[in-house]
Amino acid sequence: MTELLQLDDVQMVFERGWIRKRRGAWAISGVSIAIREGEILALAGESGCGKTTLGRIALGLLRPTAGRVLYKGKDIWREKGDGLRPTGQLVHQDSYSALNPVRTVYQTLSAPLRRYGVPRNKLKEEVKKLLEFVGIMPPEYFLNKYPYHLSGGMRQRLVFARSIIPKPGFIVTDEPVSMIDASLRLSILDLMLKLNRELKIAFLYITHDLATARYFAQKGKIAIMYLGKIVEEGQMEMVLEQPLHPYLRALLSAAPVPDPEIARKKKLIQLKEAEPPSAEAPPPGCRFHPRCPYAHEVCGKEEPSLRDFGEGHRVACHFVDTLPPWRLI
Ligand code: SF4
């Protein structure tokens, strides 16, 4: 597999507008991630940690304040022509707002198909193929339906059908199943796995939900983001089986589990503060130190860098070696 998308030491400071008018507000600071062809990377963290901003930067929809965004080795903000085009597709949580309410299913798919060179006499056949591929069945029944006729799951399938028309190398999905009934979430994640497996589309899967991240990116990687920085990353199973950063451990200990026996015995990691500090003025040193139960004096002064603890499992914490062994129960 070769590198498809690379964000290299990316920073994003919003200098005016809705976040802050005078001093810049750091949304992302020094983030580097890479996605190979056909790979899945889950990007997880609390709301407001900067993961949506990072997704928009990956797509070329936002220009970072500093750092580089490389697509197939080319800096998308330096190359002329092709370089300035978005490099992938975006699917976000609200499928209703992503679709034009006055366009039928057929119109929603036939317009982009036409733009991408499908002749008029083949449009109906191609639309039906797409609908079948994403599991909107039987296709004939849905051709003349409007978005409001469809369930949340069906609408999200339609959005995915439209997103694959340009044959993207990768798709950024921002909480794609959070507005869908719990009973249908797995089927949408399975559809995404199908797009990854059969069309070799890479995914940047943005979520706050570690359970869906684990299901979807089981064979891929995960990066944990906290207040605009990556604090832990590596292969999904390795990271979630042996979490090293106190923030990830706290997230895992707080995540609901279906087994009541395990839920009762689970050790909850108590944070010093429940709410994260303001993203506008992140604390000095380790950004997690005001909440971290293992913080020492140095944590408030020196920022830890990401260090490799084997096989690409990288963690930004001064005290990884002295933390207690991880146990969920
Ligand atoms: Fe906690 Fe210190 Fe590690 Fe930050 S560096 S996570 S404050 S122990």
pLDDT tens string 106-127: 999 999 999 999 999 999 999 9
Among 63-67, 199-203, 204-208, 271-275, the range scoring the smallest mean pLDDT is 271-275
How much distance in Å is there from the Cα of 299 to the middle of ligand 1? 6
214: left (phi over 0), alpha (psi -120 to 50) or beta: alpha
Q: How many CB atoms lie within 10 A of CB 236?
A: 21
Measured by CA distance, the residue closest to atom 7 of ligand 1 is 289
Residues 248, 232 contacting (CB under 8 angstroms): yes
Q: What does the alpha-carbon distance between residue 215 and residue 72 come to, in Å, rounded to a whole number? A: 27
Helices (H) and strands (E) in the chain, counts: 11, 12
> Which atom number of ligand 1 is nearest to the Cα of residue 245?
6
pLDDT at 166 over 80: yes
| pLDDT at residue 280 in the model | 73
Residues 51, 224 contacting (CB under 8 angstroms): no
pLDDT at 137 over 80: yes
| pLDDT at residue 14 in the model | 81
State the pLDDT confidence band at 164, using cuts at 50, 70 and 90.
very high
Choosing from 269, 286, 321, 326 the residue with most ligand 1 atoms within 8 A of its CB, the one to mutate for a pocket test is 286
| pLDDT at residue 297 in the model | 96
Mean per-residue pLDDT, 238-244: 96
pTM: 0.93
Measured by CA distance, the residue closest to atom 5 of ligand 1 is 317
Q: What does the alpha-carbon distance between residue 21 and residue 13 come to, in Å, rounded to a whole number? A: 12
Mean per-residue pLDDT, 191-207: 97
> Which atom number of ligand 1 is nearest to the Cα of residue 231?
6
Average pLDDT of the chain is: 91
| pLDDT at residue 86 in the model | 57
Mean per-residue pLDDT, 56-74: 92
How much distance in Å is there from the Cα of 227 to the middle of ligand 1? 14
pLDDT at 172 over 70: yes
| pLDDT at residue 327 in the model | 83
pLDDT at 69 over 90: yes
Q: How many CB atoms lie within 10 A of CB 166?
A: 13
| pLDDT at residue 67 in the model | 95
pLDDT at 16 over 80: no
| pLDDT at residue 274 in the model | 81
Q: What does the alpha-carbon distance between residue 314 and residue 245 come to, in Å, rounded to a whole number? A: 9
Choosing from 301, 318, 320, 326 the residue with most ligand 1 atoms within 8 A of its CB, the one to mutate for a pocket test is 318
> Which atom number of ligand 1 is nearest to the Cα of residue 292?
1
Pocket, ligand 1, Cβ cutoff 6 A? 245-246, 286, 288-289, 292, 294-295, 299, 304, 317-319
State the pLDDT confidence band at 328, using cuts at 50, 70 and 90.
confident
Mean per-residue pLDDT, 319-323: 95
| pLDDT at residue 80 in the model | 59
How much distance in Å is there from the Cα of 64 to the middle of ligand 1? 27
State the pLDDT confidence band at 233, using cuts at 50, 70 and 90.
very high
State the pLDDT confidence band at 129, using cuts at 50, 70 and 90.
very high
Tokens 């207040």 label which residue?
227
Cα angle 106, 95, 172 (rounded to 5 degrees) comes to 105
How much distance in Å is there from the Cα of 300 to the middle of ligand 1? 9
| pLDDT at residue 17 in the model | 57
What percent of the chain has pLDDT above 70? 94
How much distance in Å is there from the Cα of 295 to the middle of ligand 1? 5
| pLDDT at residue 257 in the model | 81
| pLDDT at residue 154 in the model | 95
Measured by CA distance, the residue closest to atom 3 of ligand 1 is 317
State the pLDDT confidence band at 305, using cuts at 50, 70 and 90.
very high
Q: Which domains does the chain have, with CATH numbers?
A: 3-87+168-322 (3.40.50.300), 95-167 (no CATH)
| pLDDT at residue 22 in the model | 52
Residues 251, 49 contacting (CB under 8 angstroms): no
Q: What does the alpha-carbon distance between residue 57 and residue 65 come to, in Å, rounded to a whole number? A: 10
What percent of the chain has pLDDT above 90? 74
Mean per-residue pLDDT, 295-306: 96
> Which atom number of ligand 1 is nearest to the Cα of residue 286?
4
